[in-house]
Structure formats: C-alpha cells, structure tokens
A and B are shown apart, each in its own frame.
Chain A
C-alpha cells in the first residue's frame, strides 16, 4: 500500500530522530559534564561541554558530606521492596478485576481512580499519625507500605489492561486439557502477563526511587534517609545550590534507574501473543 520511502524522507526521518535524541539526552550529558567540573568552571560566562580540568572532587564531596552511599543503599532497599510487593499485590487483584466483572469490581475501579485525586499534602499528616500509632513512623517498612499503597491504583489499572489482552480462549483451552485454575494462572496467564508485570515493577521502582516528600516527613533518623532527601541538602536558600556535588549525586542517582530499565525493558516486549489464537 505504501511505496518505499525516498532517500530524502529517510534522511529527514533520521535527522528528526537524531534531534529528538539530542533533546532527550542533552540534560543528561550536561549533568555528566557538570559533575566533573571544578567550581570555577561552573560559573564561566561561556561554559564548555567538556571540562577543561575534570575533577572527581564533586563525587568525593557528595559521598563524604551527605553519605550518599548509605542513602543510595536505603533507596535501593525501599524501591526494590516496593516494586516486589506492588507486583505481588497487584497481580491477583488485577486478574480478579479484569476477569470477574461485577458492579462491585466496576465500583472498585472507580474508587481506585478517585483515590488518585487526593493531593499528597492532604494525606500526609493522617498517614504520619497512623504510622506512628502502629510503630512504623521512621522505618523503611513504613515507607515501603506507603509506596506500595501509592503505586497500587495505577499498577492495578495498568495490569488489568494487560490481563484483558490475554485471550480467555487460552485459559479455556488449558482447562479443557485438565489444568486446574491455579495451573492455568501459573502456566498460562502469568507468563503472558510478564510484560505487564515488568512495566508495573518498573513503575513502582522508579516512583519509589524518586519519591521525596514522604521520605522527608516519615524518616527522622539520618541513617535511614533515602537518596532524594540526601540530594536536597545540596540546595540552599532561594534557589542557590552547590552545583558540583549536586550534579555528581544526581548522576549517581540516575544510574540505578537507567540500569534497572535497561535490564527490564527487553522483558517489556517479550511474551508476544502473536499467533497464540487462530482468528
């Protein structure tokens, strides 16, 4: 139906793609450049992309002054736990929502959406009081609990869409072959749901990794602080900041997300259903 694209249009496509990549990648490249610049190079009238005298001093300061290593480890623990628990809870719940349609299920989905309308600040004090009551204020477990609850509505919505895309016929075929309900779920549904589970895990990991406000308010002990809270300490009064250490810390904070995404993104496209059912 469509002819072979001309050389010119192909070139233009590549130019547009390259432009888009530069647009997306430039902040990261600039962050990289800033992280290695000594203080004097940060305030040049005509800044350069490549530092004249690259230094690791910013990294040293970031690590020694705010103990970013420990904060990163805290963030990693909290984010991984949030991702795993969100997936564990969302998986059966989304299956139930997608497969067993009822008025209650529709109402539940509506409530899930509605819950997203509440602003953070409105909830923070009641949440703080409840967590304190049950002894979870100032603990990573409390933080994980909040992150899971916070990520669940979106995860449920996302995952039940994935469940719906799995043809019921596959489950029925497995049942006809003698598989129990659990076997159907374990051997047919969950493998096909893998991209959805990966997407859910990614979403909850990244949102927990980047979250600032709850971590700031709920965690009091310095040793338990997470990375975004530690990074904020390089920002001073009225927008002033210690740019070098901040950039170095931010660069390190970006890496785990990138690595996690790089590993997981292949799984996003796996589990293709093409040809599973004859139409």
Chain B
C-alpha cells in the first residue's frame, strides 16, 4: 500500500519536472535562424553615457531604415561583464556579429580565432582615416581584428579661478606644460586646505603605463620571442614624480589615491583640489555636474621627453563565426564614417581616431569645453608594448596594481616596486 502511494508521489514529482520541461518548450524568444528575408546582424554596444546611447541607437535606426536588406539589432552590453559575456558567447558559438570593446582586451579573443580579420573587408578610405600607430593597437599576428574608433587621452582638468588666483597661466591647446612645470604649478596651487592636484589612483597600472611613454618607459621588452618586464630609469620616472608630489612636495592629495576619477569631483568642485589629471572624458562630468558659476579648463597632456601616451582605443570587431562578415563590415563603414564617428565621440566625450572626424568635431564644437585640447591630444596616442603582451591582464591584477598601490601609499621604495614588477613579469609572461 505504502509502496503504491510512494509511486504516486514519485509520479507527482515527475509530472512537476515534466511540466517544467513543457513550460520551457513554450518559452518566449529563441534563436533566430532565419534563412530567408533580410540579413540580420546583432551589434553588442557598450555605450553607456546618455548622449552616446542615443547616438548609437539613432545611427542603427537610420541604417535599418536605409538598408532594408541588412537589419541590425542593437544589443546593449556593459563594460564590467562584457568579457565573460563574450567569452561564453564565443565558446558557445552564439556571439554577436559586431562587437564593441577595447584594443587591449580583444587581443586575447583575436589570438583564439574568435574575431574576423578585417584587412580585406574595410575600404582604403576608412583605413586612411586612422593613423598606423592606432591601427597597430588592434592588429594581432598581422590580422586587423578591430576598427579603433574612440580614444581616451590623459589631460588635466583645472579650476580656472584657483589658477588665476595663484597667477598660473593657462597654456595653449598645442603647448602644454612639462612635468617640471606641472609639478611647480601644483606647488603654487597648494595651501592649507587646498592641494595643487589629486591623482585618482584606485586602478594605477594602466594610468602609469600610459604616461610612462612620456619618458619612453615601455616596461615590456621582447627578447628572442620572449617578453619580459624591465624597469629602468625611463619606467621609474612617472611613478617617482607622482610619489614626489604626494610625499615630498605634498602638492597632491594622499586621500585621492584610493579614488577613481569621478570620486575626486566633490573635492574638485569644493575647491579642495585645483587640478585633476585624468581622462579627457572627465569633461562630461564637468558639464553635467559642476556647480553653477564653476569655471573649469582643460589643460593639454603633460610633456616629458614627449607627450606620447599609450592608446587603448575602443574598437568594433566582427565575430569570426558571423555568417555575414561582409555586411557587418559594410555597417562598420557606415557607422564609422567621419560625421558618425564625430557624433559618437561627442556623445562619449572621447577623441575620434579618424582625422576627418576629429576636424569635424572641433568645427562642430568650436573647440569649446576642451575639444581643442582633446583633438590635439590624438596625435600623441600610439600603441604601447604592454597592450600586445600575453599575460598583461594577469600581471596587472596580480602584481602591478598591488605593487603600485603600495608604492603610492609609501609602504615600499621605488627599487622594491621595480623588483616586484619584474618578478611578477617572470611569473606570468610567456
């Protein structure tokens, strides 16, 4: 008797499980495997600023209206989880046709064969718009697997009233300060309750490695097919100068060390920091969030031996598994034509890689709100060896970031920093 009842109970459980399956079978959505009708492309975009989001959606809508035979579906992604999302999609064979990401991160996917070589799919016109140094950031093993389209340079945003009060003149867009001048001016701007600068160094590695090119510091050196980390005088220059500002001249705020760029804004708007070395995109927050009457200026990149910085442009790639690579490349040509690229850059407050787009943007904005400085900084951006090194992400997370954080917190010496960076390189670089 009991056994029979138990069987019924088991049957009830089975029904529940089968019901689950049935519900699953009648679910919404599903993979679109249409074989006829217009070509369908999925475009994973990482735009997140309000204006940029709108420009992206508008351009896709416009394309769809003008190209009934090639329809693009706009899919919104986010920067924090895109790597895992893409990895799973690539492994599962269900990747979007067009992928928005950044040059330093697509190398890994490119080397695994997940991204299509665009060399023969792009027009000479688009190729000619972008400098070779920028194309190099998205070229891996001779294959161009991304179109670099937006650049982020490091500039200095300053409180105009505090500069005027300290008698510090604003340099022209094409003639920035040297590091010595920047440090001296930060000193002039420092007084009780006010620091000349705030270095937001919560994630210091990319920042330091980008700026290290000012003194030709590359950190990563190829030696007979093997890459290794070396820290000489050139590599030490930028960390040393920032450290000096923090602890010797005391012209930079130590409390900003644990902050990200946007975290420093309350202090900047409150007059606690006179200058914010940071991304050119910080200007967007200035426009949106600065209190009424607050005057700010964008100062050009600081100059060492040069104003060179590492470029890590945002890129658009085509999935190697896409059945419609040609159409995807066609869409890229349209999406990144000079006017559209200028609109995309304006929406994200970044610098377009295309020369004509850059000119159009300066014309469009009359160079105001730091667009003249932003446009001018594009010429200084180039590929850096660390961007092409296998194992760089691991080196950065496991070794470089903790070591730099300790150094900037004054817990280890410059030589100890160098040793930790080199030893870390030996652990992860192949």
Q: Do A and B come from one complex?
A: yes
Chain A interface residues toward B at CB < 8 A = 39-40, 42-47, 61, 65-66, 81, 85, 88-89, 92-93, 95-96, 100, 121, 124-125, 128-129, 132, 134-142, 144-145, 148, 180-182, 185, 212-213, 216-217, 219-225, 232-242
Q: Are A240 and B50 in contact (CB-based, < 8 A)?
A: no
Q: Are B75 and A220 in contact (CB-based, < 8 A)?
A: yes
Q: Are B25 and A43 in contact (CB-based, < 8 A)?
A: no
| B252: min CB distance to chain A, Å | 18
The complex places the Cα of A125 from the Cα of B10 at a distance, in Å, of 31
Residues of B within 8 A of A65 (CB): 50, 53
Q: Are A44 and B266 in contact (CB-based, < 8 A)?
A: yes
Q: Are A125 and B92 in contact (CB-based, < 8 A)?
A: yes
Q: Are A128 and B49 in contact (CB-based, < 8 A)?
A: no
Residues of B within 8 A of A212 (CB): 81
Interface residues of B in 76-110 (CB under 8 A from A): 76-81, 84-85, 88-89, 91-94, 96
| B179: min CB distance to chain A, Å | 24
Q: Are A217 and B84 in contact (CB-based, < 8 A)?
A: yes
Q: Are A233 and B24 in contact (CB-based, < 8 A)?
A: no
- Given A238-B260, A242-B50, the answer on whether A137 and B31 have CB atoms closer than 8 Å is yes
| A50: min CB distance to chain B, Å | 17
Interface residues of B in 21-71 (CB under 8 A from A): 23-31, 42, 48-50, 53
Q: Are A40 and B289 in contact (CB-based, < 8 A)?
A: yes
Q: Are B94 and A141 in contact (CB-based, < 8 A)?
A: no
Q: Are A138 and B29 in contact (CB-based, < 8 A)?
A: yes
Given contacts A213-B81, A239-B262, could you give 10 more A-B pairs where the C-beta distance is less than 8 Å? A40-B291, A42-B289, A43-B266, A43-B269, A43-B285, A121-B84, A137-B92, A138-B29, A232-B78, A239-B260
Interface residues of B in 361-398 (CB under 8 A from A): none
Q: Are A242 and B48 in contact (CB-based, < 8 A)?
A: yes
Residues of B within 8 A of A180 (CB): 5
Q: Are A139 and B30 in contact (CB-based, < 8 A)?
A: yes
**From B16, B31, B53, B203, contact of A135 by CB (8 A):** B31
Q: Pick the 5 closest A-B CB pairs, nearest first.
A: A141-B27, A45-B270, A139-B27, A181-B5, A141-B24
The complex places the Cα of A243 from the Cα of B420 at a distance, in Å, of 36
Q: Are B260 and A132 in contact (CB-based, < 8 A)?
A: no
The complex places the Cα of A39 from the Cα of B285 at a distance, in Å, of 9
Residues of A within 8 A of B221 (CB): none
The complex places the Cα of A64 from the Cα of B282 at a distance, in Å, of 24
The complex places the Cα of A135 from the Cα of B24 at a distance, in Å, of 9
Q: Are A239 and B202 in contact (CB-based, < 8 A)?
A: yes
The complex places the Cα of A236 from the Cα of B344 at a distance, in Å, of 16
Q: Are B27 and A142 in contact (CB-based, < 8 A)?
A: yes
- Given A220-B42, A232-B81, the answer on whether A92 and B48 have CB atoms closer than 8 Å is no
Q: Are B260 and A141 in contact (CB-based, < 8 A)?
A: no
**From B16, B81, B89, B289, contact of A43 by CB (8 A):** B289
CB of B8 within 8 Å of the partner chain? yes
**From B29, B93, B96, contact of A139 by CB (8 A):** B29
Q: Are B270 and A44 in contact (CB-based, < 8 A)?
A: yes
CB of B123 within 8 Å of the partner chain? no
Q: Are A100 and B6 in contact (CB-based, < 8 A)?
A: yes
Residues of A within 8 A of B23 (CB): 81, 85, 141, 144
CB of B413 within 8 Å of the partner chain? no
Q: Are A39 and B288 in contact (CB-based, < 8 A)?
A: yes
| B396: min CB distance to chain A, Å | 12
- Given A125-B88, A232-B81, the answer on whether A182 and B8 have CB atoms closer than 8 Å is yes
CB of B165 within 8 Å of the partner chain? no
The complex places the Cα of A121 from the Cα of B81 at a distance, in Å, of 12
Q: Are A233 and B31 in contact (CB-based, < 8 A)?
A: no
Q: Are B20 and A89 in contact (CB-based, < 8 A)?
A: yes
The complex places the Cα of A216 from the Cα of B30 at a distance, in Å, of 15
Chain B interface residues toward A at CB < 8 A = 1-2, 5-6, 8-10, 12-13, 16-17, 19-20, 23-31, 42, 48-50, 53, 73-81, 84-85, 88-89, 91-94, 96, 202-203, 260-262, 265-267, 269-270, 272, 285, 288-292
Q: Are A238 and B76 in contact (CB-based, < 8 A)?
A: no
Q: Are A136 and B27 in contact (CB-based, < 8 A)?
A: yes
The complex places the Cα of A239 from the Cα of B65 at a distance, in Å, of 36
Please, could you name 14 A-B residue pairs with CB atoms under 8 Å apart, sorted by A? A43-B265, A65-B50, A66-B76, A125-B91, A128-B88, A141-B23, A141-B25, A142-B24, A217-B89, A220-B42, A220-B96, A224-B29, A233-B76, A235-B78
The complex places the Cα of A138 from the Cα of B261 at a distance, in Å, of 36
- Given A222-B76, A237-B79, the answer on whether A85 and B16 have CB atoms closer than 8 Å is yes
Q: Are B85 and A216 in contact (CB-based, < 8 A)?
A: yes
Residues of A within 8 A of B19 (CB): 85, 88
Residues of A within 8 A of B20 (CB): 85, 89, 144-145, 148
Residues of A within 8 A of B74 (CB): 222
The complex places the Cα of A140 from the Cα of B27 at a distance, in Å, of 6
- Given A89-B16, A93-B13, the answer on whether A132 and B92 have CB atoms closer than 8 Å is yes
Residues of B within 8 A of A220 (CB): 42, 75, 94, 96
Residues of B within 8 A of A185 (CB): 9
Residues of B within 8 A of A139 (CB): 24, 27-30
| B27: min CB distance to chain A, Å | 3
- Given A128-B88, A182-B5, A235-B79, the answer on whether A240 and B30 have CB atoms closer than 8 Å is no
Find the A residue at minimum CB distance from B86: A217
**From A132, A216, A222, A242, contact of B94 by CB (8 A):** A132
Find the B residue at minimum CB distance from A88: B16
Residues of B within 8 A of A236 (CB): 48-49, 79
**From A92, A140, A238, contact of B28 by CB (8 A):** A140
| B208: min CB distance to chain A, Å | 14
Q: Are A136 and B24 in contact (CB-based, < 8 A)?
A: yes
| B349: min CB distance to chain A, Å | 11
Find the A residue at minimum CB distance from B285: A43
- Given A129-B92, A132-B31, A233-B48, the answer on whether A238 and B203 have CB atoms closer than 8 Å is yes
- Given A121-B84, A140-B29, the answer on whether A40 and B290 have CB atoms closer than 8 Å is yes
Residues of A within 8 A of B25 (CB): 135, 141
The complex places the Cα of A136 from the Cα of B26 at a distance, in Å, of 9
The complex places the Cα of A88 from the Cα of B232 at a distance, in Å, of 66
Residues of A within 8 A of B85 (CB): 216-217
The complex places the Cα of A10 from the Cα of B53 at a distance, in Å, of 56
| B297: min CB distance to chain A, Å | 18
